[in-house]
Each structure stands twice: as C-alpha cells, then as structure tokens.
Structure 1
Amino acid sequence: AKDYWKAPQYQKELLELLLTAESGQSFEGWEYLFPLINPLDSSLFDYLRNPLVVVDEPSEVDQELDRCFTKLNEHYSLVNEAGSLALAPEKLFMTVDGLRARLDHRQRLELRLLGLEAAQVDTQFDTEQQNVKTLFLFPVEACLAEHRMRSQTTQRYHGRIPDLAHNLTKWQQSGESSILVMPSLGVAERVVEILRDYSVSAELRPELSHSISANSQGILVTLGKLSGGCELPDAKLRLLIETDIFDEAASSDFRPAQTRRKRTQISAFLSDFRDLKPGDYVVHVDHGIGQFQGLQQMQVSPTTKREFMLLTYAEGTKLYVPVERLDLVQKFSSAESGSRPGVDKLGGLNWQKTKSRVKKAMRDMAEELLKLYAERKLVRRDPFSEDSPWQQEFEDAFEYQLTPDQEAAVEDIKTDMHSETPMDRLLCGDVGFGKTEVAMRAAFKAIADGKQIAVLAPTTVLAYQHFKTFQQRFELLSRFRSAKEQKETVARLSEGKVDIAVGTHRILSKDIEFKSLGLVIVDEEQRFGVAHKEKLKQMRRRVDVLTMSATPIPRTLNMSLAGLRDMSVIETPPSDRLAVQTHVVQFNEGVIRSAIEMELQRNGQIFFVHNRVETIYSIADLIKKLVPKARIGVGHGQLNETALEDVMMKFIQHETDVLVATTIIENGIDIPLANTMIIDHADHYGLSQLYQLRGRVGRSSRRAYAYLLIPSEQTLTPIARRRLAAIREFSDLGSGFRIAALDLELRGAGNLLGGQQSGHIDSIGFDLYCQMLERTVHELRGEPIEDETTVTINLNIDIRIPEDYISDMG
C-alpha cells in the first residue's frame, strides 16, 4: 500500500487504515483494496466449462455496460482527486477489452426484439449522426444465423364465453392447438364444463407431458401458473390463462353473462395496476389528477403497519390512499396519447368544478342524442321493399366472398331499412375491410325503390375514390365534372335523373336539392366541420343515414351509449388479403434503393413518409439520386388545397411512382398499386399512427412491404423499442382492433362523441368519463340509479405479507 500511494495527500488516511488493519480489525471498504495483496486475475468465465451466454437485448446490455464503466471511471477520478484511497477500476473489474475477448470465444444466444436487421449499421450514410456511445461487444457480423420466433399477446375476452367458444372452434378447424392454463383443478374442470355447454370439446390434462406436440390440433385444459397468455403463430399454438378469459375480479364467478354482476371498479383498476409505474398519472375520484409515486408502508399504530399508495398533487402536496381503497383511483388515459395532464391542487375547488362542467356537457350531449333518437323513433317513413331479384343479382356480382362480419352488417342495415323508422347506423371497420361494399348494397336497395343516394367524403381525393368504386360496381357513366357540368348535375339531381351523387360537403349546399333523397352515406364524419355536421344532424331526422368509420370504438363506450346509436363492427379481413411484411431497419441508402426498385419492377407504387416539411424536398432529391427512373411527387400540409389535390390525383392515376409525404396520407386513400411503405424516423410515431400508415398498403391481393427506418438501435427509448416490436409482430390482418387498443380506441371515443367531448375525456380521464356517461344515460332514461355507497370494515388485523416471507425480491 505504501508503495502504491506515495503522494503526500494519501498519507494521513493510509496511516489510519494501516493501524486499524494491524490491530486485526476490519474497516469499511477493505474488500476494494484487497487486490493490492492478492491481485484479481480470474473472473466468472474461468469457473464455467463451455458456457452458453444468453444475452437479452444486446444493444441495451452494451449501453448499460458502457454506462457502468463510465460511472466507475468517474467515481474513481472523484475519489482520487479528493485524496482518498482507491484502486483504479481495471484492478477490480474486467476491462472492456478483456470482456470482449472472453465473449468472443463463447457460444452466444442473443435475444433481440427487433431482430438483426435493426442492429445493422449503415456506415456509408446517416442523415443525423446520433451521439451514441457503444462498446460493440456484440457485433452483428458474429451471428451465424437468425431464427425468428413470432410471439403475440392474446385477445382478452372479459367473460364473453360465446366469442371464446367460436374462436376455439375456428382455430381447431384451421389446424391450430389451444392450451388453456388454469390455476387450480376446480377452475380447470369448470372451464371444461362451460365450453361443453357451447358445444366445444376440451380435454382436461392436469399434467402436460413433454410428448404433446403443437400439432395435436386439440383444445387442452391444464394446470399451471403463467403471468400471461401468448400466441405462437409459427407453431400454430395459443396459450390462454384464466385472466385472458375472465376479468380479474370475476374470474371465480362463472355464472352466465346475464346474471354476472358488473365487474367492480377495483378490478378495472387492477387490470391497469400491473402497468402502473412511479411517475404515471392517475385520477382519484374525489381529489382529481395526481401522480403515482409508489407504494409506502406506514406505522398506523404501535403494532400495525399499513400499505398506502402515495399520490402527489400540485405544489408537492401528498395524498396517502390505503390499498384497500384502490377503487377510488384509476390510471389516467386520454384521447391524446402521450399527453401530460395538468395536476390538480389537493383540497382545491378546481376538480369539483371540472367534474361539474363535464357532467353538464355530458348531460347536454346525452340529452341531445336521446332527443334525436326519440325523434327518429317517432318519425315514420315507408319501409323499403324486401330484396328483389335485381338486388340478389347485384350482390352475386361481387367478385369476393363476404366475410361473416360483412354479412352481419348487411343484415343489420337491411333490418333497419325494412322498419318504418329512419336508419342511423355507424359502421366501424379496419382500413380495407369492405365497408364500402356493405354501403353499396344499401345504396342499391334504396335505388330499387326509386330513391336517390348522397355519398359524402371529407376530401376531394376520398370523394374521387368513392366515385370510382361506385362507378365500377354500378357501371355509372359519370366522371369528375367541370363547373359547367356541375350545374347540369345539380339540375338533374332536382329532376331525379341522377341516382347517386358522390362528393364533399358541396352536396350539403343550399343550392343542391334532391327530388327524392332516401339514403345518405357518410365516410369519416368526424373530419367534417361543425356546420356540416349540424346539417347532417338535421338530415338524420328525415332520411336514412349510414356513417362509416375506420377508427375502432371502445367497447366500454359502446356499452355506455347502448340504445343511443346503432353500431355494426367489421373485424375480419377479406380472405385474399395478405399480411404486410414489416421490417425495422436502420436508415440505409441500400435498403431504400432496393425497396423502391423491387416495387417498380412489378409496376407498383411507393409511399415514403417523412414528417418534416423543412427537409422533405432534400429526401425527395436523395430518392431521385438513388433511383433516377422513379417519378416522384411531394405532398405535405403546407401546400395549398389545389396543389395538394393535384399531387394526390397524379399518384392515384399512376402518373407518379413515389409519393414523398408527411402523415397527411394517414387517412382514407385507397391505392391498390401502392404496396411498399417506407416510414422515416419510425421511432417518433405512436402505435396507432404506425398502424394506420401501414394500412395504406396491402389493399389488394399483392404482397405488401413496410420498412420502418430508425436512426440507430442504440438511440431507441424502451417504449419506442416495444412499439416497433409490436407493429413488427402484429403484421396480421385485423390486428387493428388489438394492436393499439387504448391509443386507437380513445381516438375513436373522441371521434364518436365529437371534439368537445374529447376535451372532456382529457380533463377527467377516460374510465371516469365512461362511468359518469353510463350513469347520466340511465338517469335521463328514467331508470333506477343505485346510490354509490361504500362500507368500510376495520378489523384491526395486519393483512400484509411479512417482508421476510420472501427473502429475495430479485
């Protein structure tokens, strides 16, 4: 030690420690000085014989090790400068070079969420050099082979046993196996009985042997404890657990759906509780929006400790909520995904005012909906005729087989049209799932009875697309019209010489009169202005209205609005549709060039999404340089309406090959020839946005490709990594209703209820909004309302599990 620390600043501390050691006593930190006597020349690797090193997310491990080495060096510098005794990190720990040498000679299994593609670095080109330090301990080149194992989360049924039974049967018929893993024999036996009631034969196997193969194509119920279910598409295997089938609090309650009590608020909270992290926003029913800071134990009496949720509010005030009252707290979720709500002041009047304001607005909205609904029920019109032979002929001419959901929607619409009350139905369905075909069948039915149809779309481009679709099916002889021709059309409409008018809000103008308007078909109504929506509302009192929306509507909201709006949902994809192949890759000139050239070879078109107007033209220039023969168009929101329409129309009519655009292409456009989508800086987008952008391609029977470009795998935040992994895994069709359930559904809530209500959802959180709405609707309909009573029974018993019961929480 005296030879190692010769400088004067170390002498005082050195003398003290040597005296302590010589007296046979230990001192704090002695183990960090021990290598002076006995140098550390071996590591964990020396004690393992031919180990297999499993690395979970190499890039994250690499970054963490880099942070660790940096921290050690910084700490050593500080201690050294302060004149304290410390050994250099390399005397205590393996060096980066030493670790790299040990890893290079070991068998390695790397687990990568985004695969090798995302880890490959393009050395030739990088748009934005990110300042990312990396040790490169796990070079991609060293990997001999990549085995992709697709894994997806399962659908949750919330006690809807008929849906489960239907899916289990469908999966079995398509050669897939399902294993239902239950926590106890009693629950397993009951599940087998319930499925038997729905004509599903499931085999109870309390113990699964290793010999059971994934090809057994059966439905097995077994015992075990899993944290969650999953789907392994490549193995044709599904694992479902108890909480995938039943709600958490209702899982032990197997009564039929009609008699099962509504699940309590506490179970609603618990489903989100697993995801709750310190710093997340929550809503307390009485005190408003605060931040969850974790669980804390407090001594409430000399003998009793209790656990509390710590919530912080404005000005640093704290609220301790006993864990028994979790029902008072909900995780905050709003229509603006990722938005940061304002935190309320504890004890202030602001929260009560907000709740009152929302309640009043909600009551007004619900009253208006009820009034509209009641008025429509009072209005009488002649029912449409039953299906004619021509209707059957028109439907048979459709070149594809209708999906079960489409058939159900057609049936719902026909039932509405056959009644004496005007129809007001909302048709929800994923992009490209055949909503327009369903609407066209309703249109034909109305025409057969001598009625006229108005088809409304929010933009000229969308209107043009609907026009082409209707033209193909109805063999209309019309085309896009000049101003002079528009006047002629207006005159012919009033004379009843035009059966179907397709257009934007121009159709709602005062100068346009229909001789006998019978059906209005509205696409994406939420994108129309307030005045146009008001005009549509007046129309609803007189004529049949069918509204189409590509944004899913939350089931909870659907339940709250039961009896106010009629809804049909299309969740199944057309049978000939192929899933979009999705690749997450680093920004790479070679990838961009080959993706565009491959699409051009099959005479297709390409979307290139770049969401920065300042640099969009330089990206277009880069593409021109990479693929000189490509015809390129640029579209963004800062172009005037005419210029933007011109760019879009050229792309639709295949006068350009590549459309470099911002996210304005997210909604609506249907271009069957466009089957390659390249999204720059994909890590900056939300899940629903990525999903809807990807939905622009793969609208025909051709295989479509999506390339999600990222700057560097090291720069990805954990949430961006999960988001990209989810979009990559869920390339299946129809995953729109599962992929970003919350994100998409909350947007759907705002769309269905209108922008103002969307603001109210943001101010009190979605869950509380739905509870209040359901209560308001019951009140307005004169139904009995149960008083919200709470009973607290305090037995003064400590129900906590002792800390020492589980010795290792790691």
Structure 2
Amino acid sequence: MADVFDPPLPERAGDDVGWQGLTGSAMGLAVTEAARRHPGLTVVITDDPDATYRMRCEVEFFGADTGLPVLTLPDWETLAYDAFSPHQDIVSERLLTLYRLPRLASGVLIVPVGTLLQRLTPQQFLDAHSLIIQRGDPFDVGAYRARFEQAGYTCVETVRERGEFAVRGSLVDIFPMGATDPFRIDLFDDEVDTLRLFEADSQRTIEQVSRIELLPAKEFPMSTAAIARFRDNWHANFDVDVRRCPMYQDISQGISPSGIEYYLPLFFDSLATLFDYLPDDSLIISDTNLQSAARHFLKDVAERHESLRHDLERPILEPARLYQREDELFGALQGYRRVIFDGARHASRFESRTPPDLTANSRAQNPAERLCRFMAEAPRTLFCADSPGRRELLWEFLTRAGLATVDCEDFAAFREGSMPLGITVAPVERSLWISDMAIVGEAQIFGRRSESPGRTGRRGIDPDQVIRNLTELNIGAPVVHLEHGVGRYQGLTTLDIDSSQSEFLTIEYAEAALLYVPVASLHLISRYAGADAETAPMHRLGSDQWDKAKRKAAEKIHDVAAELLDIYARREARGGKALAGPDEDYQRFADQFPFDVTPDQQAAIDAVTDDLCSARSMDRLICGDVGFGKTEVAMQAAFLAAQNGKQVALLVPTTLLAQQHFDNFRDRFADWPVQIEVVSRLRTDGEVEAARQRLASGAVDICIGTHKLLNKAFVFKDLGLVIIDEEHRFGVRQKERLRSLRAEVDVLTLTATPIPRTLNMAMGGIRDLSIIATPPAKRLSIKTFVQQRRKHVIREAITRELMRGGQVFYLHNEVRTIDQTASELEALVPEARIGIGHGQMPKRELERVMGDFYHRRSNVLVCTTIIETGIDIPNANTIIMDRADKFGLAQLHQLRGRVGRSHRQAYAYLLAPHPKAMTSDALKRLEAIEAASELGVGFTLATHDMEVRGAGELLGDEQSGQIESIGFSLYMDMLDRAVKAIQSGTTFDLDVPLETIEEVNLHFPALIPDDYLPDVHTRLIMYKRIASAHSTAELDELRAEMIDRFGQLPTQLRQLFTTTELKLAAQSLGLARIDIGQATGRVEFGSETRVDPLALVQLVQREPNTFRLDGGTRLRITRNLEDPDKRVAFVRELLHRLTPQADAERTTADVAVGL
C-alpha cells in the first residue's frame, strides 16, 4: 500500500504514475504532499469550478505549514460563445495568476479542465502592459493616462470598480486587476510622493504602501493598433455587413462589449495555451478522468457553435480557434511528469476510507451517538469547522457528548502533536480516514454545509421579522411595547441593578415618563409602522389608553378575520381537481433550466407542485426580489398544468412584459408540444380574435396577456391555473375579477415588492407564501446614488456603462419632452446609440425600438415607466431616473430592478431636485431606496411604503384607524389570533397576553459590552435578534455569527446567551419568572404552566431546606450559589427535573450532581 504522506511521483519528464483508492479529502492530502516534495510547480486538473474550489481549500488546509502559494486559474463561468462577459472578479484572478506563473519557483496551480483547454492571451501582452509604480518614481500624468487606457482601464470621475482610474489634479486613483482595494497616488510635481490604499465605497484612505503592481484591465489590448488588428481580422474571418454588427461597431469606438472574450483571437497574431506559461519541470496531477472530461467539454462547445453560427449580426469563430483539440491537449501533456488518478496501468493503491454516517440526531437522547460509536474505533481525529463561530458551536456539541478536544492552529500542529482529538478552523468539505488519523468536517456531523465565504447566499428573509425588527430605529422613532403602548425610543442605557450591570432600552411616554426595558425582553418591543412618525400616538404610562385602543381594534379585527376565513372556506370547498404529480417529462423540462436553482427557488417549486397535486385549490404568493427566478417557478407550474390537460393564463400588467414573457416561454418550451399564445395591443385585431377562438377550442395550452384576458369575451375550454405577475399593478375592476377566480382555479401570484395588504393575507395564513430570498450566484447588489441633476454626473454614468460594453436605461417620464431629453443626451454622449420608447408610440414602432435595444443595436434607451415591470435586458446595468422624487417607493424599487440582472455590478442614479425643493415624503422615499440597496429588500420597502403613505391609503379606511392606533405588528398578531380563535370555535380573548413575559435574572452581568461592539445601532440589532430567538439552534447560529463578525465572546455576552437559552426553556414550561442570586431565589409559575406536578412535589419533599412552595404560584429557593457557573448548572438541572416525562428515577446521586 502506498503512503499518502509519501505518494509515488514520476522521476523524469514524460513519465507517469497512477494513484488509486484516494477517497474524500485524501486526494487533497496526497496532492499537498506531492507539492511539498516536488521542487517545481504542481498543477492539478479538476472537473469543474466547484471541484477547483474544494481542492484549493484542502491544499491550503493540509499545506498551511509549507508556505507554498496556491493559485487557481478559474473558469470564465459563462457558456461557450456567451453574450455575457465573465465576472470582473474572475478576470482579475485569471490575470493575476497568469502574471505570477512564470515568476513562481514552486507552488500549486489548480485548474478546471475547461480552462486547461482554453487558448489564452500571450505572455508578451501581460509583460508589455504590466508595470510597477513605487514611491519616488517619476510620473508624467499624460503618459501614464495613455498607458492605463491602452491596458484597458477606463477613466472615470470616481473609482469604484477594478479596471477604473481617475485623475484629479495631483491625485491619481486606480483600482488594479488582482488587487483587493484601489490605490491613491499622491504626486509632488512630477514624482510619486505617497501611495495609499483606500476604500472604494467610502473613498477614505486606509494605509500607506511602498509599491503598486498594475496588471492589464482585460485579457486583450484596447490600443489603437489592437483595434485596427481586430477590424482587419474580423473582415478576414467574417463575410457580414459590419453595420449590422454591434460587436464590431463597439470595438471600433474603443468600447469592449459584453461577450468580447470569445473573439480573443482577433486581437492577436497568435494565442498561447496554459502550457506556454508552465515551467518545463512542472508536475501535472489529474483529479479526474481527463480524456472523458475533455471530450465532454469539447462536445458541448461544438453543440453551442452549431446552434449559434448562423447569426449574421453576431458571427462566431470556429471552436478550434478558441480551444485546443483533444490531440493537441494530450500531445502537450506528454512532455511533463504526470500523475493519473484511478486510470493508469500499475497504479499505486492507497488505503483510505470514508467515515460512516456521523450525522447528529437531534431527537435522540444522545444526539452524538453515531459519532461516539465511530470515536470508539477511530484513530486520532481532527474536527474542522468553517469559521471561528462555527468552531465554538462544534466544540460545545462535542463537549456535551463527552469528547474533549484540543485547539489546533492547523493540520501540521495536529499531526505533530499527540492529542487524540483536535479542533480547528478550515472549510474542508470532504472527510478523511486513513490508518492513523481521521478528519471530520462539521458537515458530516450537522448534516448540512454552513455558509462559506465566497459561496454563500443571503440569509433567508422572514417577512414577519422585517416588520417587527428594530434595525432602523433612530432616537425619537415610535416603538410599541406590548404591555404599555406606543412611545418614543430614546436609546440604550446601562444601569446597575442588584450590584450587576445590565443594559436597557429606554422608551419615553407622554408627560416625559420613561420606561426601561431589559434587553432580554426586547421581544416585547416592535418598530411602529402604520402612520408617519409625527402623527403616531404617544400613550400615558399607567393609564387605560392602551387597553382601550387594543379593545377597539379587537372588535374590528374580528370582522376582518371572519371575511378572510370566508375566502379560505370557499377555497377549501372546491375539491377533486388535483393534478397528477411530476413524471419523467416534467423532470427533463426542469433539468433544461440552464442555471443552478437556488435553495429558495427549489423550495418554492416544490411547494407549488404540492399545491397543484392536492385537492385544495392553490392561492400562493411567490415573493422574490427582481431577477431572483420567480419566472422559472411559474414556468414549471405551467408545464405541470399543461401536462395534465389544463389551460394556463398568465396575466401581466403591461404590453411589453406580455411580449417578453411570450418570447421567454416560447424559448423555454421550444422542445415540448405546448401551444403558447399572447394577447396584447401589440397584436392585430385579427391575431387576437384567432387566439380567442383557439383558446375556446382548447388548442392553446398557455395564454399570456394583459387585462384583456379578463374580458368575458375570452372563454377558456378548461382553465386550471392562473399566474398573476405583480397583481398590485392591476386596476380595481380587474382585481375584483381576479378575486372571483380564486375560488374556481389554482392561482399563483408573483411579486417583487408586496403591498402590505397582500403581505397581510400571506402572513395571516390565508394565502400561502413562498419567499425567494437567495440571490443567484455572483449576483451583486445595485449601487444606488441620489444626486442632483448635473451634466457631468449623467455623462459619467452613461460613459462608465458603455465603456464596459453595457447598456443604459434613461428614465424620463414626460412624453412631451422626451425627444428633447434624447437630443440633450446625444450632445452630451455623442458615442451613444440612443433609442426612444414610450406608451403613446404606435405599437409596431415601440416593438421595433425595444427589439433594437434587446439586440444591442442601441445602447441607451430613453423611456417612460413602460419599462417598469419585467423588462429583462441582462446587459443593461445602469439606470438613470429623471425626477426620481415623483415616484412611489415600490415603483422606485421596480424600476431599479430593471438593472442588476447579470453578475455585473449595476448602478442606479436617482436624479432629484435640491432636498429643500422636495416634499418630506419624497425625501423619505429616496432615503429609503438609497439605504435599502441589499439584495432581496422588497419586504423592507413595503413596510417603509406603509410608513410614508400611511396605512389608510394601502389598507382601506376601515382598518387604517386601528392600525394607526396600535401599530401594524400588533394588528397582525391580533388578526392572527382572531383567525385561529374562529377556526377553533373559541372566543378571541384579549385578556390572554399575546406574549408570555418570561424573565430570567441570575444576578450577573448579561449584556453586550460597548468596548466589544461600540456601535449602538448594531448592538441594538443584535440584542433584538437574541431576545427574539425561538430556539437554541437560532441562538447557536447567532453566537457563531457574532464570533465571526466581532471576535470571541466576552464573559458578559456569553452570560446573555446563557440567560436567553434558559428563558427559552422556561417558556416551554410556562414559567413567568426565574430570579436566583447567590443565596436565595424564586421561580414563578405562569397561569398555564406545564411543569410536572409530581416532580414539583417530589422536589419539595426531598429537599425541604432548598425548595419551598409559596402560595402555589411560586417556588422559593435557598442555596449557596456564589459561583455563576454553578448557578447556571443549578437552574439547568432544575428545569430538566420540572419537565414532564423527564427521567422518573431521580436518584440522590442525580440530585448531588445537579443540585
């Protein structure tokens, strides 16, 4: 058997050896040890980008002590001949790797097979356009500016992205490729005085540096000579009319269009391959069946070429110009030392195994039972967690299981040490089990992979929590306390209570009365939403104002609940129309989706499928931000309905969106016998009439249309599913018709920004709700700027986009002056190709304008809000909105969502008058949209909209008064309880508290120290999240997050988490209060306590000196508990013993241990 720590290697160039039997991360370990011994560069070939990432993590982990550099040459992550360019981060990493390769004496390069096959930019290009700038160097601004531009850098006013530079007097800012931050060059006369790093977002300098390495901004040149060579080569390769080729026209103007990478050969006389960059003594290791992987990749490229080669506006090159042939690849490999995995003759066999299933079973008495069994037979084991916070959770889990681990700095420390069990931080996804040791990642124990850097989606959004959160509180903002009513937030304050420090949230009520709320009770506080802050009520402490407001609201809420339940009952009554479940055809259709489905998307698809296959009629709201994949959910639902012989109606608010959905559905369903029609004003009367007749006869399976489809003239033969895109954009009469449809057919509603009424019904459980909160991979949030209308701002915004080959929406919502605005832009940016689109144009003309923009024949579209809903132009990544102050918040969000639909950084410029010339509401809207720039903020904006506009306008006058008096959050709580009460046949009793007020006080400091987290705003957010946690699992995640974000937890914060954990246990037992100090304490029982009465009696009988019942509602405690840890252990054991069905055999030994 071969030794993984001493793997066999080929002795000479041209030799190969084989490795077999390497499972899990054993391959990564063998690669690391090979690189440690091999004097030159070690190259690892993997299957795909995911395998590349995995291998990099493993080599960095196993080789942390070697000091060897680990590089990757990433895949472009685009389809062959794609119209999109690779993500800027990918281009940056590729250029940095290619620049470093010839300069590396040793190290590890990991490359996916697709990149290995690519033809690359020649090394001479990189050398010619790379330069080093040091302090004291002479610096001629004009000469360097020309060099930057020839290397592909774009001159802008403010540097924000890689590949940009700016010149402002004696300051030159530049963001080089391969750098993590931009640099500021400060000149003194014609000499470099200082070089400093600065933050792109804040523009503040961070630290001084001594030198800057500048790489080209692109993998091809943009000099005058290079552009001339491109044009000559274009004519030599393609016999097409260049006037109809946007790619040719853009390059001719010095613009690098999207997808230009697949024309790389036209910029050079000849290209290189990766082998031209590799030293002759490189060792090449294949972590895959290379021949099969290469053949499969080249087959996909050939198929893409065949399907796209007939496009005369975008002609493409032969595959052999862009990729090596199979014989070329293997011919080049022959000259190197090679290790072939699992495929060579006379392969050396390694002994490595995969550990058994170690997943923790949370329902078992010992969740770590499987792990403990493995530990009994396993050798020394190192446990790996993804982050310091996750390590803390893993350590606690192992400690509770009786497994004592020792912290290890890295793998080398564990291997050289003698500890039987170690724990470290390393994102190792695959486990390892060899003769004398095992590596176990947290994924093997917790059954899922935690979010890892660079591969994460955003945390899912809980719609309920968006409205209840305190994340946007400013001093003086209205808040609701469940017991005391509406007051004004006055900040956080620290008080000494019973000789221990605690932090309190201060609320001011009428007549300057102050209420101090312990941070552990922040679950009783919610942000007030329902009216403007100035008009929100302010109650008097100790008066009956608050109780009266709640009772008055409760009377109205009962009626609303009854109306909602009536709709619900009508849905339940319609049964017997369940569809047959998904079959092989459905699975094939789903597999044709060309992108990775996000977890949220998959959950929504599964939920819709379950609804369609159940007897109950569906009424589901799919809420996801723009570009998060709601349409694919709708397409899969439509396919399932059509498969079952049901017709589908897709209702959209605008003509343009109808046409776009029609085009997308036709493309997606191209391989299937599904008939699709569209009804809109872009169709002639004859076409609409023909569609109407085919609908009635059942010849159309899916019909897409505007409100015209709701006309009674349109009769479906067998309508089974109605999909509604952005229902809130329809008029009152259309909504009434939609409401009547809900009781008859399955209804699926798609929305990006839910209006609160829609959100109410979903949150109240009347409509089912699916949230798609995870952005697609590589998606970036849209950078949003509120600016006054100035020519230089507009010119820079448009030029920045055009120079990277993108397109711009310029929104001007006045048809009367739209032509004049387009003329002004033409003069401002003469290189732009401008189109004009608005709703009053003849329909054929509008269709032509939009077609030109879609096919990139124009690159700036001056338009009205006709683009608001659903227009999908992934290459358009800048939007400029004229007079943005005139739009509503939901509308601003929708319009901004027209950009940022690819993996490029998108920009939204909101042009508005001076703040003093705007209304306060307009100012609030613009502040809200600028602040809410994260991906997936539709929910937050919906609640902002309610505050700005007031509840009445959105929810109707009848409910608005109640919401304004008690706040939206409490209104929803009471509505939810009223619905449940009617459903169960009981009475909605307002005297039963909505929240049990559990208080746990163990008389030690339990807070977030301000020296640990100085920002009051962030501290408040974390307090609220801790207090609102519903489970110990949530607390564990929060604890891990805080360690990762802010560092190891101080004692006071650990004690806050402990107190909150005990509060959750007290809540499950129906306890109202636990107050235990150093010598005495008490436990108070709630009105509906679930304490085991027999256990309580036994406790008092067995230990009368410690426990005494006081009036049946309190348990008095006398015990010496000076040590805080013993106090916590005492309370834990007490709660365990009071829990029903706890171990009946409570022996004296048990008592001695715990109590």
Please state which band the TM-score falls in when normalised by the shorter chain: 0.5 to 0.7
Question: What CA deviation, in whole Å up to 9, does each residue of 1:166-210 have, x standing for no partner?
Answer: xxxxxxxxx99422189xx9x88546669x99xxx998759999x
How far did residue 621 of structure 1 move?
4.2
Change in 2 beyond 3 A, CA 1:503/1:526: same
1:788 to 964, 981, 993: 993
Pairing 1:742–2:742 present: no
1:472 to 643, 648, 667: 667
**d(CA) in 2 for partners of 1:558 and 1:204?**
51
* Equivalent position of 1:652 in the other structure: 850
Question: What CA deviation, in whole Å up to 9, does each residue of 1:332-358 have, x standing for no partner?
Answer: 34368x764343575999877764564
Change in 2 beyond 3 A, CA 1:623/1:531: same
How far did residue 215 of structure 1 move?
8.8
Q: 8 Å contact 2:868–2:895 — kept in the other structure?
A: yes
Question: What CA deviation, in whole Å up to 9, does each residue of 1:239-275 have, x standing for no partner?
Answer: x9xxx99x9xxxxxxxxxxxxxxx9x9xx98x73x86
How far did residue 386 of structure 1 move?
3.4
Counterpart secondary structure, 2:738: helix
How far did residue 503 of structure 1 move?
1.1
Counterpart secondary structure, 2:870: coil
Question: What CA deviation, in whole Å up to 9, does each residue of 1:275-316 have, x standing for no partner?
Answer: 654321223557754434568999xxxxxxx99945254xxx
2:976 to 774, 784, 794: 774
1:320 alignment partner AA: L
Of all paired residues, the percent bearing the same amino acid is 36
Task: List aligned pairs for 1:141-152, cutoff 5 A.
Answer: 144-148=195-199
**d(CA) in 1 for partners of 2:564 and 2:397?**
41
How far did residue 464 of structure 1 move?
2.1
Task: List aligned pairs for 1:506-545, cutoff 5 A.
Answer: 506-545=708-747
Question: What CA deviation, in whole Å up to 9, does each residue of 1:147-180 have, x standing for no partner?
Answer: 44899xxxxxxxxx99xx9xxxxxxxxx994221
1:179 to 377, 380, 388: 388
* Equivalent position of 1:442 in the other structure: 637
1:493 to 695, 698, 720: 695
Change in 2 beyond 3 A, CA 1:594/1:379: same
Pairing 1:421–2:588 present: no
Change in 2 beyond 3 A, CA 1:354/1:120: farther
Counterpart secondary structure, 1:145: strand
2:639 alignment partner AA: F
How far did residue 606 of structure 1 move?
0.8
Q: 8 Å contact 1:120–1:140 — kept in the other structure?
A: no
Counterpart secondary structure, 1:653: helix
2:767 to 559, 565, 569: 565
Pairing 1:546–2:748 present: yes
Q: Number of paired residues?
A: 595
1:452 to 628, 637, 647: 647
Say what the alpha-carbon RMSD is for the aligned residues: 6.3
Task: List aligned pairs for 1:195-344, cutoff 5 A.
Answer: 205=407, 216-217=426-427, 272=470, 276-285=473-482, 289-293=486-490, 309=506, 311-313=508-510, 317-323=511-517, 330-334=525-529, 340-344=534-538
Change in 2 beyond 3 A, CA 1:572/1:723: closer
Counterpart secondary structure, 2:900: coil
- Once the two structures are overlaid, the 10-residue window that deviates more, 540-549 or 400-409, is 400-409
1:278 alignment partner AA: I
Counterpart secondary structure, 1:454: strand
Counterpart secondary structure, 2:748: strand
**d(CA) in 1 for partners of 2:729 and 2:706?**
11
Structure 1: 5+ residue runs without aligned partners? 1-113, 124-137, 152-160, 166-174, 222-230, 248-262, 299-305
Counterpart secondary structure, 2:720: strand
**d(CA) in 2 for partners of 1:780 and 1:355?**
18
**d(CA) in 1 for partners of 2:938 and 2:676?**
42
**d(CA) in 1 for partners of 2:394 and 2:761?**
30
* Equivalent position of 2:589 in the other structure: 394
**d(CA) in 2 for partners of 1:354 and 1:620?**
55
Q: 8 Å contact 1:683–1:724 — kept in the other structure?
A: no
* Equivalent position of 1:380 in the other structure: 575
Q: 8 Å contact 1:177–1:237 — kept in the other structure?
A: no
Question: What CA deviation, in whole Å up to 9, does each residue of 1:411-433 have, x standing for no partner?
Answer: 22222222222222222222122
2:609 alignment partner AA: K
Change in 2 beyond 3 A, CA 1:743/1:435: closer
**d(CA) in 1 for partners of 2:596 and 2:557?**
42
Task: List aligned pairs for 1:584-595, cutoff 5 A.
Answer: 592-593=794-795, 595=797
How far did residue 512 of structure 1 move?
1.9
Pairing 1:430–2:430 present: no
2:565 to 335, 356, 370: 370
Question: What CA deviation, in whole Å up to 9, does each residue of 1:536-582 have, x standing for no partner?
Answer: 2221212111111223799x97898465332223233445x653674
Q: 8 Å contact 2:784–2:930 — kept in the other structure?
A: no
Q: 8 Å contact 1:612–1:662 — kept in the other structure?
A: yes
2:830 to 622, 628, 638: 628
Provide the TM-score with structure 1 as the length reference.
0.57
How far did residue 521 of structure 1 move?
0.9
How far did residue 509 of structure 1 move?
1.7
Q: 8 Å contact 1:117–1:583 — kept in the other structure?
A: no
Q: 8 Å contact 2:160–2:200 — kept in the other structure?
A: no
**d(CA) in 2 for partners of 1:764 and 1:499?**
48
**d(CA) in 1 for partners of 2:492 and 2:632?**
53
Provide the TM-score with structure 2 as the length reference.
0.42
* Equivalent position of 1:695 in the other structure: 897
Structure 2: 5+ residue runs without aligned partners? 1-156, 170-183, 188-192, 203-361, 368-383, 415-423, 430-439, 442-450, 496-502, 917-922, 1016-1155
**d(CA) in 2 for partners of 1:669 and 1:354?**
45
**d(CA) in 1 for partners of 2:955 and 2:547?**
19
Counterpart secondary structure, 1:384: coil
1:766 alignment partner AA: F
**d(CA) in 1 for partners of 2:864 and 2:984?**
49
2:906 to 678, 694, 705: 705
**d(CA) in 2 for partners of 1:553 and 1:288?**
26
Change in 2 beyond 3 A, CA 1:683/1:698: same
**d(CA) in 1 for partners of 2:915 and 2:472?**
24
**d(CA) in 2 for partners of 1:349 and 1:463?**
55
How far did residue 619 of structure 1 move?
5.4
Task: List aligned pairs for 1:111-122, cutoff 5 A.
Answer: none
How far did residue 455 of structure 1 move?
0.8
2:733 alignment partner AA: A
2:955 alignment partner AA: Q
**d(CA) in 1 for partners of 2:452 and 2:931?**
15
Counterpart secondary structure, 2:648: strand
Question: What CA deviation, in whole Å up to 9, does each residue of 1:357-397 have, x standing for no partner?
Answer: 64455433332332222332222233222335543443344
**d(CA) in 1 for partners of 2:601 and 2:404?**
30
* Equivalent position of 1:404 in the other structure: 599
Q: 8 Å contact 2:477–2:533 — kept in the other structure?
A: no
2:941 alignment partner AA: D
Change in 2 beyond 3 A, CA 1:652/1:763: farther
**d(CA) in 1 for partners of 2:724 and 2:559?**
24
2:967 alignment partner AA: G
Counterpart secondary structure, 1:446: helix
